[in-house]
Chain A
């Protein structure tokens, strides 16, 4: 801000045009700091893994293992990132995964084979997302409350369907998806789905009007409304999207675990939120990064992997996870304040 008051500002600016750094530098610069931080953390983890367990950590099978284990929660996290960017939260993702996985593996559903299971998982996920979306967008419910209610009822329904029993999948086509024979060029099909969801999610958030509207609603809902955006409809779509991701994740989980169980997806909501946050998505909305979220998921999965390979127990894993969340948020606050 300049000290003079008059003459009019436009004139002086024309005399000495202020040129910021070019657009690509600004954006790349910011992306770099964030992504590099996460990649740095990942690199340190790989280093630790490689030093402590050179044989079992640094091999193709372990890479396949880590990516496969990240796939299910990763797909959920992509959907969660959209919701958080819009200023909302979806606490029901784990419960939706459970309900979808259970509904899609009942004896009746399994009779319809591969596509029966896939279709049911996706439809149940989208259906739950629809209920969330309607309650939040049109029922004016706070997302925290609406999705908390969904969490409780979806888990309850999942329990009712299963009676607490494990529903084993007998459809070979589904089971094959998570077996080595179906790897293409060494890439497990589950990981391909995860990668595809990530790429599509990134494109939708960064390259489409849908993504722009999501960011606008999260950044300033009132401004978005006065700019002519249908905020309610956008919110509805976002919870549908999260539900869709849960349905896809449920299908992947069915293939991976070979069964549906009402306890599936336990605490996914917290894992997904944690991954999104360390990935640089603001919990208050308005800014989010799909790649950051995915890196967050990979960091968590890698930690679990390294700890398991070193035969360290659950308590230590949980402590490390908490420390990483705090560290990542602190680092990001530092980098954010320098911009």
Chain B
């Protein structure tokens, strides 16, 4: 491309956290004055990558070159000194300070080295805000009193208050109204005209088409495509890169005959205000039903509402013909539901505890009498459940935090296996699971279904849903737009549905 070296060049960046490899050899080149879009599903590694770029995480391996020279970004301050500013999705502003104070936080204009020159700070802040198209924001106001869009402007003003050459924007349009988005794009255009580079992260493909120059797609911690032209690459190709597979998986065989038993889980007209429209679905014992959709389609919300972790606005959930008490997880668990949530560490695991105790926590009554735990029986039961799922290492006494992502997921599944649940709700079951360990997890899930469990599966990876589920419901913006047996669908068809929301059949 350009004859001079790229402004930023990251190559072979890897970063591992206990149990998961978040970045696995990522390359990223950014030219001065371009808008470089970063695309990827939740958990694809975007956040980790921008934290590496911001100096908040140190990469395990890999090199970062800045204007042709090797650099180490030891801290956010080091990155800032080079001219790299990051605007996070969760804005890192101090609510109880004024706009001007936030903009100049850490580099206040001072007299005699320590006296803050409040007037000068306000004046330069006003200047920046004007440049950003929001002259109406008073530099003296408290940030906590501003709207989300205004706060974002403040955050951007803060970035520009440094001598900035690269701005990373993490989903900047997520909290904005359409006309505010237009202003944002104008700002981005102004910046790039001045030679500033922008790394722009978004789920919205249409935005990327409007302002992007090039696109890098991340998936499972790898850059599956780098530097694609933003305007001319077909949408389907981009989505396929995001949701598709870079490794071909062998999915387990489906049973020849669709299960004939009565549905064990019935959802009737279930909805939640602002999240998803009334929904009907049935899952039979032995059947895996998949919900496919992009971020924001309401997938996780549906599962959590079925489970009682969120209270439904309308409708009801029946298990074995009996309606569940709404909004009660305990009622759902007692009726035989089990959830493997999306955020395993935050929502499912007791990270300080052993595998045994994580597995036994929902089934303690099975090996206790009068509240007294028979620890031998507990260990035996946990061992049996984890062995059945081939959890490694084969020692349930080890702390669960030392397990890999896939084995942590198995610990969650073992919990529900031990509990003896009838319906398993799986939210992104392979999120954070090493690519290599997924096939085994699929086999486990299928085996559980074959043994008579009903499985409701949510995944943002279309091939996963198509490969694993018997029947698929396609969601778009909280609505089911299509329902069909998985074998009658293919990836392009689902992608069309997910993106266009075209009417069923």
Q: Do chains A and B touch in the complex (CB under 8 A)?
A: yes
Cα A137 to Cα B390 with chains together (Å): 39
Query: How far does the Cβ of B384 sit from chain A's closest Cβ, in whole Å?
Result: 15
Find A216's partner among B361, B397, B435 (CB 8 Å cutoff): B361
Query: How far does the Cβ of B478 sit from chain A's closest Cβ, in whole Å?
Result: 22
Interface string of B271-296 (1 = CB under 8 A from A): 00000000000000000000000000
A212 sits at the interface (CB 8 A): yes
Find B361's partner among A20, A26, A227, A287 (CB 8 Å cutoff): A227
Cα A286 to Cα B361 with chains together (Å): 14
How many residues on B have C-beta within 8 angstroms of the other chain's C-beta atoms? Answer: 53
B400-443 CB contacts (< 8 Å) to partner A: 404, 406, 415, 419, 434-440
B2 sits at the interface (CB 8 A): no
B13-54 CB contacts (< 8 Å) to partner A: 16, 21, 24
Contact B371 A228 (CB under 8 A): no
Cα A26 to Cα B390 with chains together (Å): 22
Choose among A14, A18, A22, A213 the residue with the greatest number of B CB atoms under 10 Å from its CB: A18
Stretch of B115-123, B165-173, B343-351, B454-462 lying at the A interface: B343-351
Cα A220 to Cα B309 with chains together (Å): 15
Interface string of B218-229 (1 = CB under 8 A from A): 000000000000
B81 sits at the interface (CB 8 A): no
Contact A220 B334 (CB under 8 A): no
Contact A225 B309 (CB under 8 A): yes
B298 sits at the interface (CB 8 A): no
Find B16's partner among A1, A207, A222 (CB 8 Å cutoff): A1
Interface string of A89-102 (1 = CB under 8 A from B): 00000000000000
B105 sits at the interface (CB 8 A): no
Contact A6 B16 (CB under 8 A): no
Contact A19 B347 (CB under 8 A): no
B353 sits at the interface (CB 8 A): yes
A323 sits at the interface (CB 8 A): no
Contact A20 B349 (CB under 8 A): no
Stretch of B189-197, B311-319, B362-370, B445-453 lying at the A interface: B362-370
B479 sits at the interface (CB 8 A): no
Contact B350 A216 (CB under 8 A): yes
Contact A228 B372 (CB under 8 A): no
Cα A178 to Cα B218 with chains together (Å): 72
Cα A210 to Cα B404 with chains together (Å): 29
Interface string of A21-32 (1 = CB under 8 A from B): 011001100000
Contact A226 B348 (CB under 8 A): yes
Query: How far does the Cβ of B48 sit from chain A's closest Cβ, in whole Å?
Result: 15
Residues of A within 8 A of B21 (CB): 1
A8-B436 CB under 8 A given contacts A23-B397, A223-B347, A230-B330? yes
Find B440's partner among A8, A19, A225 (CB 8 Å cutoff): A8
B67 sits at the interface (CB 8 A): no
Interface string of A201-240 (1 = CB under 8 A from B): 0000001111011011001101111111110000000000
Query: How far does the Cβ of B394 sit from chain A's closest Cβ, in whole Å?
Result: 6
Contact B350 A215 (CB under 8 A): yes
Contact B352 A287 (CB under 8 A): yes
B7 sits at the interface (CB 8 A): no
B357 sits at the interface (CB 8 A): yes
Cα A69 to Cα B244 with chains together (Å): 69
A222-B352 CB under 8 A given contacts A209-B365, A209-B371? no
Find A9's partner among B350, B397, B404 (CB 8 Å cutoff): B404
A13 sits at the interface (CB 8 A): yes
Find A26's partner among B247, B398, B415 (CB 8 Å cutoff): B398
- A287 nearest in chain B by CB position: B352
Query: How far does the Cβ of B97 sit from chain A's closest Cβ, in whole Å?
Result: 24
What residues of chain B have their CB less than 8 Å away from a CB belonging to chain A?
Answer: 16, 21, 24, 247, 307, 309, 329-330, 332-334, 339, 341, 346-354, 357, 360-362, 364-365, 368, 371-373, 375, 379, 390, 392-398, 404, 406, 415, 419, 434-440
What residues of chain A have their CB less than 8 Å away from a CB belonging to chain B?
Answer: 1, 4-11, 13-14, 17-20, 22-23, 26-27, 207-210, 212-213, 215-216, 219-220, 222-230, 286-287
| A-B contacts, 28 listed (Cβ < 8 Å) | A1-B16, A1-B21, A6-B247, A8-B440, A9-B406, A17-B393, A18-B393, A20-B395, A20-B398, A23-B379, A26-B398, A27-B397, A208-B368, A208-B372, A209-B365, A212-B357, A212-B373, A216-B350, A216-B353, A220-B346, A222-B347, A223-B348, A225-B329, A226-B341, A226-B347, A227-B333, A228-B362, A229-B362
Known: A209-B372, A212-B364. 19 other contacts (CB 8 A): A8-B436, A8-B438, A20-B398, A23-B354, A23-B395, A207-B375, A208-B373, A209-B365, A209-B373, A212-B373, A215-B357, A216-B350, A220-B346, A220-B351, A224-B350, A225-B329, A226-B309, A228-B329, A286-B352
